[in-house]
Each structure stands twice: as structure tokens, then as C-alpha cells.
Structure 1
Amino acid sequence: MRADDLILFTQVVDLGSFTRVAEQNNLTNSVVSKRIGKLEDELGIQLLYRTTRKLSLTEAGETLYQGAKNVKLATEAVQEAVLDLGQSMTGHIKMSVPTISGDLVLADAVAEFCSMHPGLTVDMSLNNRFVDLIEDGYDLVVRTGHLEDSTLIARHLIDSQWVVCASPKYIAQHGRPLLPQDLLEHNCLLYAYQATGAADWQFKDGDRHYILRISGNFSTDTAGALRKAALGGYGVAYVPRCLVYHDIQKGDLVDLLPDQVGKRLGIYAVYPYSRHPLKKVTKLIEHIKHRYSQIGDYF
């Protein structure tokens, strides 16, 4: 016996009409009749007395009806529980974010979101590797760059402009580059996290974008380490502006080529495709987007 046939049987008994059941389920009378007949054949016993005026239960039908009602109630309870889960602000979210965004705004934003929804817990991993959402079981990741997997959904959060910067100490010792080509004569600090290659720096001349291959004696895959090396006066760094925004404002670093850097990447909230995305995930994304907008000047 199939559960949906048992549920259909309870509907026939409750409504007392094949026609009304057919209308409720968008079926034909003959389909409803055949499914009830099939149920009787499988059990080898008559369940309903059929007359032109009404339907009534046999003794076997009454016994089956009592059990089938439990199946229907259990199914409805499961459906309601699943719907509640999808719409609730409780449970758990596993997410991954880049280290810069995590340190700058997301750690505080996500912790604030949890405090707003006491029944919710979030596990936020800070790393720069491109995790596999499905394989690694993530509900949400924040990514910088282009989305290649069409099975995922991406919501734009903000754009991140990159800058070329150095400390006043470095400029005093080695001079200030006025053009991108001048960087070929400077020690350039390499950020190994870049997808395009740590030594490939993107610039623009009007509408034309081009890559300049630079060189240097220090390379790291950690943005914080690159920032400290630049602050120490050890070279020129090419980093997201949000990483060094306060340093530039305070004068500890100088934005060297503000109108010539061509790298500008989108920051996206990415989650697995679903016809019915979880409310807690979409609400968290809205909260994160709002927090990014509050510090838009950083980017």
C-alpha cells in the first residue's frame, strides 16, 4: 500500500464523494475510483459500499480508515514541520567567508544577527579557499570574484576596489611611482591569494585594461601579513582598499595610483539553488548586505 493511496482513501471517507476528492486533488473521477479499487485488490477485501446516493464503509474499511487517518496526520505533521523549518529563524547555519571581509565586518555582523535571533546558531569559517558548498555542507559562503557554478545562487553585496599603496617611509627612500610602469623599478609585495597570479597587477588607461607583471622579494597568502609589510616600509602592496582604508585615512599608507588601478571585484553571497531557500539564510544575507552598505566608503 502506498501512503498517498491511504491518504486518498481517508479523503473519500471524509468527503463522502469521489467527485469532491477528484476536484480537491485535480484528478478525474475515474482515477480516484481506480486507485481505491487498486487498494481493495491489494488487500483482497472490499472497503466501501458504493451506491448512487452515498458511500459507506465496510467493517474492513472502518479498520483501515482508523489506521489511514494516522498516516494522513503524520504526513501533515511532517509537512508542517518542514515548512516551519524553512520559514523559521532557528536552527544552524554553516558559512564560509574571506578573511578580509570576516575581520572587517562579517564577524561583527553575523554575531549581531545571532543575538537578534536567539534560537539560531552560526558556524562561520574564515578562509580564502573556494570551498565546495555541496560537498562541504555549507549553507552560505561569501565570495569575491566571478561565479562559475550555474547550480548556485549568487546575490551581489558590494564591489571591492583594489589599490596600490606604500608607506611614506618607503616613498621617502625609493621615490613615488607616478605611472604603473614605474612599479617595475620598485619592490612589489605579492599577495599570493590572487586568482590571476600574485605578480599580475591590473591597471587601466581610459577604457583599456591591461596586466603589468611586477616582481618583489616578499610573497604571502595572508592579507594581514601583506598589510604589515607595507606599513613597515618594505615595499609596494596591491590589495583591496577595504583592507587599508583606515591606514590611508591616517596617512600611514599612501594611495599611489588612485585613478589607474583596474581591479574591481564583486563580493557575493552564494548559496545552493533551491526553489524554497531557507528564510534564515536569506535574512542573514539581507543583514550582511545592509552592514556592507554602512561602510561603503571602505570599498
Structure 2
Amino acid sequence: MTKIDDLILFAQVVEQGSFSRVAEQNSLTNSVVSKRIARLETDLGVQLLYRTTRKLTLSEAGKKLYKGAANVQQVATEAINTISGFGESITGHIKMSVPTISGELLLADAVAEFCALYPGMTVDMSLENLFVDLIEDNYDLVIRTGYLEDSSLIARHIIESQWIICATPDYIKRHGQPTEPETLIDHNCLQYAYQTTGASEWEFKGDGGDYILKIKGNFTTDNASALRKATLGGYGIAYVPRCLVYHDLLKGDLIDVMPNRVAKKLGVYAVYPFTRKPPKKIRLLIEHIRQRYLAISEYF
């Protein structure tokens, strides 16, 4: 039992990033927490944490142990919650990260609505396109658009996001409409530096299957709103998620230049760390978000 208690304490230290906060949380002294972590390291024969005056950093062994320790903590919490009834209550805090496009399009409103529905909940939502490390950065939930590789995470598919090539009618009038992907070589291609692929590598459908075409242009950005504004200004052709410019297409401010030729389609996923059973608040938030996506599925 002593080692199990130390594992749970270790998981808490990783999540809180502080001996003092864990000590306060468990009504212990800093020295007791430090000694118990040191005892765990001695028992296992490895160093788990690198300690400096400013921060705690996990060693490679510490990262591996944390995944198991977090599960031990989760199981213990679930067992206690089953008795107390707290496990099914919708209270607490969720730290999450979402892509900028989806965040601005629907997630900011959806998550704020969720908090209004459950007054005991607070959510810290970051808008960023970086593929954050859920474990290292202590995220409870991440909405990702792209390809998933980390098997230590659980992912729930929400929707598929189709990309398109678009330009303003004025740009097409001045420079002509490309009819085949290869003719894009004669155009100024505005580039979105999104992490899943290179900004200048555009994916197309061909008779022999999908292929990548290398394009060129004078403007690159990692901000979707900036790319949309540059495209609406008539400065070039852009390769973007359809949801970003859905209303612009409806109004005729932008034209879908090459329908049926763009191959890029990325899944949108709700991702959370592996546990035997995610807390009810996470399950409810994921379902709330999924329903908001499905309500505007035509955008994608």
C-alpha cells in the first residue's frame, strides 16, 4: 500500500508541478512529499524527477511511470467517487486546447455554453494549432485536426474536414482560373503553415491516386484568419479548410476553384489521456462539442 500511495502522490506532483501544492492538498509538509518521492525513486532504482528551484521536469523513466501512476490515481478516485457519489457530479476544472479555426468558428461559444449549463464547471481553453503534449502540459482534453499517432491517448472521431482551393472572382478575372493542379505554377499561391503538412505541399486527386504538388507564393502565415483576409483581398489562391471560408463561398466573395480535385481531408478528434473511464464531465463536454460540430456539418 505504501508504494501505491507513493505512486498516487507522484502523479499528483506531476500534475500540479509543485511539491508545495501537493503538500497543501494532502495536509503534508514539503519535506514529507520530497522524502516519499525520493523513496519511490530508491525503490525503483531510477530518477523520476529533475528538480530545480524554478520547476520540476520529468525524466524519461518518470514519463513512462506517470502514465501508469495516473491510471492508479484514476482507479482509486473512481472507487472513492462510486461511494461518495461525486464521480457523477459535474463540477471541477477542465484544461483544453483547440485549433484556431474551430475555436473561433464554434468551440468558444460551445464551451462557454457548456459552462453555463453546468455552473460548477470551469474551463481553460487555449486556441492554438500546435500539437500539444497532453501529459507533459497537463491537458484534460484536446480537439485536434489531423493525423493521430500517439497510442497512449484515446481519440473520439467527431467529423471530417474537407479542404478546398479558392480565390476571389476578381483574382480569377485578372489571372484566369486554373483548370488542373499543374497550372497553379502560374499563380500566386497563398500558403497556410499548418503543422500536419508543409505549407507549400498541396495534395490532389489523380488518376493514379493522390499526389503532392509543390507550389510557390509570396505570402505564408500560420494564422487562418490572416490567410482568409489575404485571399479575400484578391492577392492569390489559397488551400484552406472549407469551414474557414464557408460563408464567403455562399456569398460569392470566394470561388471554389477546383472542386473534386483536392484530396486533403482531415479528421477532427476529441483526444484525452488514456484512462479506464474518463470523468463524466469530460464525456459530457465531448458530446456537447460533437453535437455542435454536427449541427453545422455542411460547413465541413
TM-score, normalising length: structure 1: 0.72
Query: How far 1:276 moved relative to its partner?
Result: 2.1
| Letter of the 1:114 counterpart | C
Partners in 2 of 1:114 and 1:226 — Cα distance? Answer: 31
CA displacement, residues 217-243 of structure 1 (integer Å, 9 cap, x when unaligned): 001010000000000000000000000
Checking the alignment, whether the CA contact within 8 Å between 1:143 and 1:267 is kept in structure 2 is yes
Q: Report the counterpart of residue 180 of structure 2 in structure 1.
A: 179
Superposition pairs for residues 39-118 of structure 1, below 5 Å? Answer: 79-80=80-81, 84-118=85-119
**1:152 — aligned with what?**
153
Q: How many residues align?
A: 226
Say which SS state the counterpart of residue 171 (structure 1) adopts: helix
The alpha carbon displacement at 1:206 in A equals 4.6
The one-letter code of the counterpart of 2:113 is E
Contact kept in structure 1, 2:147 and 2:196, CA below 8 Å: no
Shift of 1:192: 1.1
Distance 1:98 1:107 in 2: 11
Alignment CA distance shift 1:231-1:96 (3 Å):
same
1: CA distance between counterparts of 2:229 and 2:81? 53
Q: Which residue in the other structure is 2:223 paired with?
A: 222
Q: Could you tell me which runs of 5 or more consecutive residues in structure 1 were left unpaired when the two chains were aligned.
A: 3-74
1:189 corresponds to which residue?
190
Question: 1:169: how far off?
Answer: 1.2
Q: How does 1:233-244 map to 2 (within 5 A)?
A: 233-244=234-245
Q: CA RMSD in A?
A: 1.9
Q: 1:96 to 1:82 in 2, by over 3 A?
A: farther
- Report the AA paired with residue 201 of structure 1: W
Q: Distance in 2 between matches of 1:248 and 1:113?
A: 30
Give the letter for the 1:146 counterpart: Y
Find the counterpart in structure 2 of residue 208 from structure 1. 209
8 Å CA contact 1:167–1:230 kept in 2: the answer is yes
What is the DSSP-based 3-state SS (H/G/I as helix, E as strand, rest coil) of the residue aligned with 1:173?
A: helix
Q: Distance in 2 between matches of 1:218 and 1:95?
A: 31
Amino acid at match of 2:213: L
Please state if 1:268 is matched with 2:269.
Answer: yes
Whose Rg is larger? 1
Deviation, structure 1 residue 88 = 1.6
Residues 82 and 241 of structure 1, relative CA distance in 2, 3 Å threshold: farther
After superposition, the C-alpha distances for 1:88-107 in whole angstroms (9 at most, x for unaligned) are 21110100000000000101
Amino acid at match of 1:101: S
Alignment partner, residue 289 of structure 1: 290
User: SS of 2:135's equivalent?
Assistant: helix
CA distance 1:80–1:253, change in 2 (3 Å): closer
Note if contact 2:161-2:242 (Cα within 8 Å) is conserved in structure 1.
Answer: yes
255 and 194 in structure 1: CA distance in 2 versus 1, 3 angstrom threshold: farther
Checking the alignment, whether the CA contact within 8 Å between 2:81 and 2:87 is kept in structure 1 is no
**Alignment correspondent of 2:51:** none
Match for 2:179: what amino acid?
L
In 2, Cα distance between equivalents of 1:161 and 1:80: 42
Q: Which residue of 2 aligns with 1:70?
A: none
3-state DSSP of counterpart to 1:141: strand
Are 2:205 and 2:211, in contact at CA under 8 Å, matched by a contact in 1? yes
**1:292 & 1:254 partners in 2: Cα distance?**
24
Q: Does 1:199 align with 2:200?
A: yes
Q: Quick one: distance in 1 between partners of 2:206 and 2:168?
A: 25
Q: Deviations over 1:247-271 (max 9, x none)?
A: 0010000000111000000000000
Query: Is structure 2 residue 138 aligned with structure 1 residue 137?
Result: yes
Contact 2:204–2:212 (CA under 8 A) maintained in structure 1: yes
Name the aligned partner's letter for residue 94 of structure 2: I
**1:190, 1:216 within 8 Å by CA — same for their partners in 2?**
yes
**CA displacement at 1:81 relative to structure 2:** 7.6
Distance 1:296 1:260 in 2: 21
Deviations 1:124-158 (A, max 9, x none): 10011111101111100000111111010000000
Amino acid at match of 1:154: A
Matched residue, 1:245? 246
Cα drift, residue 195 of structure 1: 2.1
Offset from partner CA, 1:75-127 (integer Å, 9 cap, x none):
99x92488644322111010000000000010111111111101111111001
Q: 1:188-225: per-residue Cα shift (whole Å, max 9, x none)? A: 00111242200000000256100000000001010000
Q: Determine helix, strand or coil for the equivalent of 1:156.
A: strand
